[in-house]
Structure 1
Amino acid sequence: MDVVVEGLNYHVEVFGNGFPLVCLHGFTGDFTTWLPFVEEWSRHSKVIIPDIIGHGQTESPDSLDFYNIEAVAHNLYKLLDHIGVEQVDVLGYSMGGRLALTFAILFPHRVRKLILESASPGLPTEKEREIRRMNDVKLANFINEHGIQPFVDYWEEIPLFSTMKSLPKSINESIRSQRLNNSSIGLANSLRGMGTGSQPSWWGRLNEIEIDVLLLTGKKDNKFCLIAEKMLKELKNGAWMICENSGHAIHVEEKEKFGTIVSDFLNT
């Protein structure tokens, strides 16, 4: 269904009737990221899957103000009000994990449990954020100048996704096809407005989170394993699981295991 929030059209899919679970995809993804898990998770959860602004069938406005990660979290709050759910579990992958964490920090009363797959609280110093912002702007300009296909060609080759090359060709082709359906403006503005360099650093506020938090990382994704190790020290009720045969995209690389881990965490 489509929901209008702050004048923007958001696309959201809803399945099941249990305790609400909001699933937030990563950069270049859309709601289809989570469809392989709907059958399992909808047995215990009302699965709510929005296309994040700039992605999928949700609008891709020109104004960067809409892409500020705190503004997006506020819109998610209003989206859930429209759907008629109060407290929710939240699962976020990569960019979606940063949004999930932002939502949990800004609106702690709305979140029961939090699952962060290959996600970070942002960059700790302004110098790091400035360097990252500059790099994200360069990549956004590349998208604007060359279009989606050359960008996806580049994105598929970054080291973060190197472990996905061993997956069946059909899986990689499906992911590529989905990425190519995104909007140039939406992806470019997401980099500029929601990139790791643009968001606030939440490192100093992790200790405010009272709820249970599950961190998931792939053993082959050393960068995010180090981030999770540091996060765990700051969280009051955090747990960390490492998936041995995965890189960054655990939900793709170890799909069955990922689905079970999420179900088990939500049902305990």
Structure 2
Amino acid sequence: MPNFKSDGVDLYFEETGAGDPIIWIHEFAADYRTWEAQVRRFSRDYRCITYNARGYPPSAVPEDPGAYTYVSHRDDVIRLMDHLDIEKAHLVGLSMGAYTGLQVVLEYPHRVRSLVFSSGGSGAPGASREKFRQDTFEGADRMLAEGMEAGAHGLAMGATRIQLLNKDPRGWEEFRRYMGEHSALGSALTLKNYQALRPSLYDYEERLKAVDVPVLLAVGDEDDPVIEASIYLKRTLPRAGLWMHPQTGHGMNIEEPDEYNRRIGEFLSAVERGAWRVRDNRANPGQSVFMGDRAEHRA
């Protein structure tokens, strides 16, 4: 079983295909298996690496709460790359994985070729931070008390997951089953020490403005907790593009796999051609629609 050690924690990974590397970083409610539709598509042209985060079997489940910080998750990506002798990679992250990917960009920009930031931003707005933390701790305590099966069903019936049930009942059942197989301890410690305690995206505004990495922001228009954060990132990251898919919830990659794959394929192609540009300063959202220097028009 392929694994590597990251700060003493054994992490499971799989790799498929050859070419430029893509590392797929899963969300809280998922694991490496939920990237299957993406691996089957992109391993035809790329070296695809999936892995399970700490706390997600067959990766190890540390008992120390301090092992579950966002910094630990961030550095796990770099240690995975080092283990596989990857100098630079495309990163694709969903939700918690999107946050991890963005943290890698902020700390190790020279190791990232591009980032797909999907469904990210839960708990980011300051006005909702305290409620988000309370809800997160309550969810963690429920998982510990009632087990993962109850926690998985409750989350799978949530407001941003019901879209998958309506579109693809078999896919929804598989998603719920996979989550039910997770470790209650690992999931609870992840919720309490990563999800609840990570800094808000809005805390990084000045650093985000300096990011020179191509970013595709992907969000469903019924994923209400993260839409505003995606718009904020579009206005803040110099090389970001925003794709919003209609009538779509949180798990975009399993809810709309064909369109998700198509958009990522187009994004990677643009990055590799050098065609994913920095936003033109003349597209300043504070500028009048009647953009106005007459001398510029004469030029």
Which bracket does the TM-score occupy, shorter chain normalised?
over 0.9
The answer as to whether partners of 1:101 and 1:121 remain within 8 angstroms in 2 is no
Partner of 1:200: 199
Q: How far, CA to CA, are the matches of 1:45 and 1:231 in structure 2? A: 27
Partner of 2:26: 25
Q: How far, CA to CA, are the matches of 1:55 and 1:170 in structure 2? A: 23
CA separation of 1:56 and 1:147: change in aligned 2, threshold 3 A: same
Q: How far off its partner does 1:239 sit?
A: 0.3
CA separation of 1:121 and 1:156: change in aligned 2, threshold 3 A: closer
Partner of 1:174: 174
The answer as to whether partners of 2:163 and 2:247 remain within 8 angstroms in 1 is no
Q: How far, CA to CA, are the matches of 1:131 and 1:245 in structure 2? A: 26
Q: Is the counterpart of residue 98 in structure 1 residue 99 in structure 2? A: yes
TM-score w.r.t. length of structure 2: 0.84
Partner of 2:43: 42
The answer as to whether partners of 1:245 and 1:254 remain within 8 angstroms in 2 is no
Q: How far, CA to CA, are the matches of 2:168 and 2:216 in structure 1? A: 29
1:27 counterpart SS class: coil
Q: How far, CA to CA, are the matches of 2:74 and 2:225 in structure 1? A: 25
Partner of 2:136: 136
Q: How far, CA to CA, are the matches of 1:130 and 1:245 in structure 2? A: 28
Q: How far, CA to CA, are the matches of 2:144 and 2:30 in structure 1? A: 18
Partner of 2:236: 234
The answer as to whether partners of 1:206 and 1:234 remain within 8 angstroms in 2 is yes
CA separation of 1:121 and 1:152: change in aligned 2, threshold 3 A: closer
Equivalenced residue count is: 266
Q: How far, CA to CA, are the matches of 1:188 and 1:53 in structure 2? A: 12
Name segments (4+ residues, structure 1) moved above 4 Å: none
Q: How far off its partner does 1:60 sit?
A: 1.2
**Aligned ranges 1:243-258 → 2 under 5 Å:** 243-258=245-260
Partner of 1:85: 86
**Aligned ranges 1:3-82 → 2 under 5 Å:** 3-82=4-83
The answer as to whether partners of 1:19 and 1:88 remain within 8 angstroms in 2 is yes
The answer as to whether partners of 2:21 and 2:90 remain within 8 angstroms in 1 is yes
- Given residue 262 of structure 2, which amino acid in structure 1 is its aligned partner? T
Q: How far off its partner does 1:145 sit?
A: 1.1
CA separation of 1:137 and 1:221: change in aligned 2, threshold 3 A: closer
TM-score w.r.t. length of structure 1: 0.93
2:165 counterpart SS class: helix
Q: How far off its partner does 1:233 sit?
A: 0.7
